[in-house]
Amino acid sequence: MEQEAVANLTTLLDNRFAEAVSLVYNAQGRVIISGVGKSAIIGQKIVATLNSTGTPSIFMHAADAIHGDLGTIQEGDVVVCISNSGNTAEIKVLIPLIKGRNNKVIAMTSNKESFLAKQADALILAYAEKEACPHNLAPTTSTTVQLVMGDALALALLDLRGFSPQDFAKYHPGGALGKKMYLRVSDLVELHDKPQVNENAPIKDVIVEISQKRLGVTAVVENSQIVGIITDGDIRRMLEKNDILTGLTAKDIMSSNPKQISNHSMATAALEVLETNSITQLLAVDENNNYTGVVHLHDLIKEGIL
């Protein structure tokens, strides 16, 4: 029943819905979402979605509004009232008070003939013929369609505002989603001392460098430029082939032309290179192609990029 109700919502994205979107888009203030019962909980989720996608919003419980919280509403704010029936006692008291303050009201209701729908300046019709509850009592279908129409409202506004992934990251700086948008290779290489040896370094020095820097790799560098790379795997293969290490140098076991990435690249770009080449370490360089450090797969996991 809920699936059918949600599928039917596409037929309700009409001019009335467009008017509601336009009313919010052109508002000088914030969006105030209000409701009671289960609709209030849906309202709080819609507020969270609007805020994270560029539309400043706040929740105001309809019952609390008529007991002091009406001061939440400021000049220029648009109020979205959510009520399945559109005829609850709290809504009937609240609507005249809001309109008396000259704020615009958007109704989100299943009943287009309700008090709320007729008093509102715009209507989002979230129609639910019947609750999925076998007694047609517990809010189930009605809250599902409210949630979906709330998402439709938020994403229509996102599109109108040209809200980009970079904007999204600004609102989510502490999470993995945000980090994917702002974390750069330069931020990762700063986490470690950079392992490096020159071409003529004895194998013992190479092993010590890899061991001390604990990244499983060292760059082979001449005049700040990368000429090769040695991994702990290279060390193991060398030990399998050679019983005597005297005279062996970094140049003898290094791999030339290793994969590199710019300091200014996004961390997600580093991850793509690592995954594409099935490697766990990547050497980083600055704008002058000077070696700056190592990006390790474990760092990307720790930062939540992978």
Distance CA 233, CA 215 (A): 12
Domain assignment present for residue 177? The answer is no
Based on the domain organization, do 90 and 188 belong to the same domain? no
- The answer to whether 61 is annotated as binding is yes
Query: Looking at residue 148, which CATH number applies to its domain?
Result: 3.40.50.10490
Name the token pair of 295: 């990006």
Domain assignment present for residue 203? The answer is yes
Region at 100 (left for phi over 0; alpha for psi -120 to 50; beta for the rest): alpha
Domain enclosing residue 211, as ranges? 182-302
Question: What is the model's pLDDT at position 173?
Answer: 66
Question: What is the model's pLDDT at position 3?
Answer: 95
Instruction: Look at residue 180 and tell me whether its pLDDT is greater than 80.
Output: no
Distance CA 48, CA 72 (A): 17
Q: Which amino acid is at 125?
A: L
Domain assignment present for residue 134? The answer is yes
**CA distances (Å), origin 260, targets 89, 183, 224, 300:** 66, 17, 14, 16
Question: What is the model's pLDDT at position 245?
Answer: 78
Based on the domain organization, do 53 and 85 belong to the same domain? yes
Domain assignment present for residue 31? The answer is yes
Based on the domain organization, do 214 and 119 belong to the same domain? no
- Rounded mean pLDDT of 164-168? 79
Domain assignment present for residue 176? The answer is no
Distance CA 12, CA 127 (A): 8
- Rounded mean pLDDT of 252-263? 95
Based on the domain organization, do 143 and 276 belong to the same domain? no
Domain assignment present for residue 169? The answer is no
Instruction: Look at residue 176 and tell me whether its pLDDT is greater than 70.
Output: no
Based on the domain organization, do 151 and 251 belong to the same domain? no
Domain assignment present for residue 168? The answer is no
**CA distances (Å), origin 187, targets 51, 250, 265, 298:** 28, 28, 10, 14
Of 306 and 246, the one with more pLDDT: 246
Note the residue count of the chain: 306
- Rounded mean pLDDT of 258-282? 95
Domain assignment present for residue 171? The answer is no
Based on the domain organization, do 30 and 82 belong to the same domain? yes
> pLDDT digits over 104-150, tens only?
999 999 999 999 999 999 999 999 999 999 999 999 999 999 999 99
Question: What is the model's pLDDT at position 179?
Answer: 73
Give me the number of domains the chain comprises: 2
Strand 31-35 and strand 78-82: pairing? parallel
Give me the torsion for CA of 197, 203, 205, 206, rounded to 10°.
50
> pLDDT digits over 85-94, tens only?
999 999 999 9
Based on the domain organization, do 61 and 95 belong to the same domain? yes
Instruction: Look at residue 174 and tell me whether its pLDDT is greater than 70.
Output: no
Instruction: Look at residue 157 and tell me whether its pLDDT is greater than 90.
Output: yes
Confidence of residue 70 (pLDDT cuts 50, 70, 90): very high
Mean pLDDT (the chain, rounded)? 93
Q: Which of 106, 130, 163 is at the close of a domain?
A: 163
Based on the domain organization, do 194 and 158 belong to the same domain? no
Judged by average pLDDT, the poorest of 117-131, 190-204, 292-306 is 292-306
Beta-carbon contacts of 96 under 8 Å, excluding residues fewer than 6 positions away, are 119
- Kindly report the pTM of this predicted structure: 0.69
